[in-house]
Amino acid sequence: MRYGSVFANGLFAAKVMLVTGGGSGIGRCVAHELAALGAHVVVIGRKIEKLQAVTAEIVEDGGSASFFVCDIRHEDAVKQTIAALVACLGRIDGLVNNAGGQYMTPLEAISAKGWEAVINTNLTGGFLVARECYLQCMNKLGGSIVNVVADMWGSMPGMGHSGAARAGMVSFTETAAIEWAGKGVRVNAVAPGYIASSGMDNYPPEMAPMLREMTKTVPLGRFGTEAETSAGIVFLLSPAAAFISGSTLRIDGARPQVRMGWPMRIASADAQQREAIRPFQGFHRARTAKVFSSAQQ
C-alpha cells in the first residue's frame, strides 16, 4: 500500500524536506506523505530507534529518506546538524517544525526547570532549527517553513507552559514571515486540535478517560486524524500556498468556537460520514493510540 495523499504525484520531486520530531505521531505521518509525493525526507529526533524505523518504512514504501539524531534544544547541536544536512544533500526546500512535548500540571506546581524544559522544546528549539535552515540555506535559495503549534486559542489550562510556548511560536511565525520574505521564504503555522495520534499514549494512564471524552467538546463530534493534519501542512509547503505567509491554519473541528450559553450541537455518527466532514484516513501506516483501543476502555 501507498500513502493516500490528495495531492498530485511528484509534487515535491527533487525537493529536500526536513521534519523535526519525525519519529512518531504527526511528524511520522508528514514524513510519509512528503516522501510519497517525491521528496527526499530528512527526519530529526532524539531517539535513533524511532528515526531508523520511520526511515525504513519510507524506503520500504518506495520513498527516499534519511535521518539525523539531534536534540533541538541545544544550539550547537542544531547548528552542526543543519550544516551536515546541507553538506550532504545540498539544500533544504521545506522545514516542518513539528518536535514538541508537554505534560499535564497546574501552573502552581510547575517548577522553573519544568517550565524551561517545555519552553525550550516547543519554542526555543523550533526557533533554532528555523534560524539555522534560513542562515545555512534558505536565505540563498528560498523555502517554506511550517511550524506545528496547538489549539491554545482559549488558553491551555493544565498545560500553561505549553500554551505560552505555542503562543510564542505563533508570534515567531508572524515575525519571521515579515523578516524573511525578502529572501523568498514563507513561514506559516498549523494548529492541530484534538488529533487521534499515537502521541496521546505519552500521557499518564489516569488521563485516558478524559482523553476519550474530549470529542464531546468538538462540534464535528470526533477526533481529527494525523492525515488531516499532514494535509494542511503539505498544502502550506506547496506552490498553491505561494501567497500565504504569516498565517496559522487551525485543524480543530471548530472546537475553539464553543461558547458558554450556546447549546452544543455535536455532529451525529451519521453526520460524521457525510462527505464534507468524513474523516480522511490517507495514512496507510497509521497506528491507533492505545488509549482508544477497546481493551483500554
Judge whether residue 214 has pLDDT over 90.
no
> Which domains are seen in the chain, by residue range?
16-203+224-262 (3.40.50.720)
What pLDDT digit, counting tens, does each position of 148-167 carry?
998 888 778 777 788 899 99
Q: Which helix (H) or strand (E) holds 278?
A: none
What pLDDT digit, counting tens, does each position of 63-109 carry?
999 999 999 999 999 999 999 999 999 999 999 999 988 777 889 99
Q: Fill in the amino acid letter for 40.
A: H
End-to-end CA distance of the chain: 30
Judge whether residue 212 has pLDDT over 90.
no
Banded model confidence at residue 202, pLDDT cuts 50, 70, 90 = low
Residue 214 CB coordination number (10 Å): 14
β-pairing verdict for 94-97 and 64-69: unpaired
Nearest CA-CA partner of 26 in 182, 161, 226, 184:
226
- 40 or 212: which leads in pLDDT: 40
CA–CA distance, 137 with 133 (Å, rounded to integer)? 6
Q: Fill in the amino acid letter for 92.
A: I
